A and B are shown apart, each in its own frame.
Chain A
Amino acid sequence: MAITFAWIAVILLVITSTGLLLIHDWRWSIILLAMQYLGMFVLTLQHWPLSMASVKVVAGWMSAAILGMTRSGLSNEDPLEESIWPRGRLFRLFAAVIVLLIVAVVTPGVDNIMADAGFAVTNGSLLLIGMGLLHLGITARILPVIMGLMTVLAGFEILYSSVEGSVLVAALLAVINLGLALVGSYLMLAASRQETEST
């Protein structure tokens, strides 16, 4: 039963991480990010007790809320958006498919290295890491960069939860996630100042 839930979570992660790449609307991005943390919670639950795994989802949702609240107060244009980056949805979808293929190929090997964390856990984790890195590679805008970093960290946290059950590590990783969201909010606010001044 737990394995079925884990694979459902992996499918959810495929949808959310691909959605984060394809969708430009920040509202949908925040919703997808929050759903991503739900999937992460299910996969973390494979190795951690409910109380500790829920730290991940609570910290993740708080981070998503911080980013969403900050973004909602800003105008629609992102001043750091650069036209040189490939922006076509087809290109992003193609890149996401390549990441999915790579993840499918390397999952057995990594699962073997990571003390048999479980195929679903390893697959979901690598998927998030790959998609997060892809996200970081094709954008220079603040919100997507922060979301990309949070996606990479979420993937790493899933994998790391299979080998490390320290309360201190869980607490510090939660603090880092929240800190990343706060830093993202700070940078978005700073970027919006120039725009406000120029209009």
Chain B
Amino acid sequence: MNAPTVWIIVPMVFGVLLLFINNQRVLSVLGGLIAVVLALIAQFIPIEVAMKFGSFSLKIDSSLIVLGRVLLIQPAEGSLLSLIYGAAALWFFGAEASKTATRLVPMGFMIIALMVAAIAVQPFLYAALFIEMAILIAIPMLTSIYAPPGRGVLRFLIYQTLAMPFILVAGWLLAGVEASPGDLALTAQSAAMLGMGFAFLLAIFPLYNWIPLLLEESSPYVVGFLLWILPTVTIIFGAGFLDRYSWLRSSPQLILALRYLGLLMVVTGGGFAAFQRHLGRIMAYGSIAETGFSLLALSLDFKLGIPILFLLIPARALGLAVWSLSLTVIKENVEAMRFGAARGVLRITPLAGAGMIVAALSTSAFPLLAGFPARLALWESLSRISLSSALWMAIGIIGLLTSAFRSLAVISMAEEYTTWKPRENRTQMLMLGLGMIGLFVLGLFPQTLQFFLANLPLMFEHLGR
């Protein structure tokens, strides 16, 4: 048995098999349980270590050869797999409440398998091909065959597809830079290619206009899932480039570019969120700001930045899950998610309304919530390097906070004497309640995550050590 089979091929096969099940509850529970089992195996069964169970011996090899290339999952990547599949379990368990299990669970498994393949493939720049395949699988997940696709889906497909050629060519050019480090022209060309590729993949300003459109057109829960998995794996893939090439790692221009791009994402994300009048678009800009925080973490001294980057991942997963599930429930109960139509919705979807606000506040670094510890560490580290950068980050956060409080005002602004008539079903209440408790637990006791996060920087050879 080998690790790529367990965490890539098996989930892929499960994804295909689950396509034949139509029951939302069965899919949700089955998918969640499979993901939990995969997460537990990743966390507790070490790779490349023989384990004896009586007369039976078990060893998970780290590599699998496919068409002359290697899929390699290193022992240090066990915690990352555990985090990814653990978060996937969270999304899959919540899929029933959002009534998207028939699309999210089977295709979600396939997408996660491809994203893990993107982390595992050697040479690592081939990851762009696996990410593109995941994008293609995401399209049927985002659109229904019974409804016309919107502009957001087409833009998503175009922008993400255009990323692949840039990354592949950049990878080839980078090999040339490694061979002749003095060639400045080649260095600039490869850096430009790489920058364009990641700008498309991570939806960096101004290439993120598909995100608000998607959140207007498609199920918020499905979009939320993609806004979690795609940037998370892409950032790790990007960090892999920094780890692999010393000239990139030590380039002050690249670090500055990462910082300015991160700030641009946080400030525009927060700024635009503050002026939106659509609950879905506010989440879209919140997720854009989240990507900005990750870029800012990468721009710090790697010993500080990489642990902060990993600390951002669980908060992002849980925050987006609660936020998107809340929006899905609200969308079910209102005509549109515009402020005018969603006024007073707290009276009919109290938990969903509360979930949306708590998740928005968590993204806005509100104290005691999951997003706070990572953002505080990020802000503190950033202020040591540049006070003006820390100030800009604060402006972005103020924008996000404004959007959260505006949303709160709108959803609680009901007609006088309107009675409370909650319409959420039991599953939705349970999942939203657990999600909100999770956001508070991660905010109050961030050290609980150390069990998963402590060894994650070891997956890189040079970063974070």
Residues in A lying within 8 Å of B, measured CB to CB: 79-80, 113, 129, 136, 140, 142, 145, 149, 152-153, 156, 159-160, 163-164, 166-169, 171-173, 175-176, 179-180, 182-183, 186-187, 189-191, 193-194
Contact = CB atoms under 8 A, between A and B. Distances in A.
B157 interface: yes
Interface in B139-187: 139-140, 143-149, 151, 153-154, 157-158, 161-162, 164-165, 168-169, 172-173, 186
B9 interface: no
A79 B129 CA distance: 31
B454 to A, nearest CB: 34
Contacts of B140: 183, 186
Interface string B38-61: 000000000000000000000000
* Among all A-B residue pairs, the 9 with the closest Cβ atoms: A156-B165, A179-B136, A168-B67, A172-B129, A194-B148, A168-B69, A191-B148, A167-B67, A183-B139
B161 A180 contact: yes
A156 to B, nearest CB: 4
B189 interface: yes
Contacts of A140: 151, 154
Nearest to A187: B149
Given A153-B161, A183-B136, A169 B149 contact: no
Contacts of B157: 145, 149, 183
Contacts of A172: 126, 129-130, 133
A194 B143 CA distance: 13
B61 to A, nearest CB: 19
Contact of B136 (A129, A152, A156, A176): A176
B96 interface: no
A70 B330 CA distance: 36
Nearest to A179: B136
A166 B149 CA distance: 35
B120 to A, nearest CB: 13
Contact of B154 (A79, A145, A166, A176): A145
Nearest to A162: B172
A142 B154 contact: yes
Given A166-B68, A169-B129, A190-B143, A113 B186 contact: yes
Interface residue tally of chain B, by bracket?
35 or more
Contacts of A166: 67-69, 126
Contacts of A79: 148
Contact of A149 (B69, B147, B161): B161
B17 interface: no
A145 B126 CA distance: 25
A153 B186 contact: no
A101 B265 CA distance: 36
B173 A113 contact: yes
A168 B146 contact: no
Contacts of B133: 172, 175-176, 179
A169 to B, nearest CB: 7
B374 to A, nearest CB: 35
A142 B186 CA distance: 37
A160 B168 contact: yes
Contact of A190 (B144, B161, B172): B144
B216 interface: no
A171 B148 contact: no
B222 to A, nearest CB: 15
Given A168-B68, A172-B129, A179-B136, 7 more contacts: A166-B69, A168-B69, A175-B133, A176-B129, A179-B133, A183-B140, A194-B148
Given A113-B186, A166-B69, A194-B147, A186 B158 contact: no
Nearest to B162: A152
A79 B146 CA distance: 14
B68 A167 contact: yes
Contacts of A152: 161-162, 165
Interface string B170-208: 001100000000000010010000000000000000000
Contact of B145 (A113, A136, A167, A193): A193
A176 B126 CA distance: 13
Contacts of A164: 168, 172
Contacts of B165: 129, 152-153, 156, 160
A193 B146 contact: yes
Nearest to B145: A190
Nearest to B185: A113
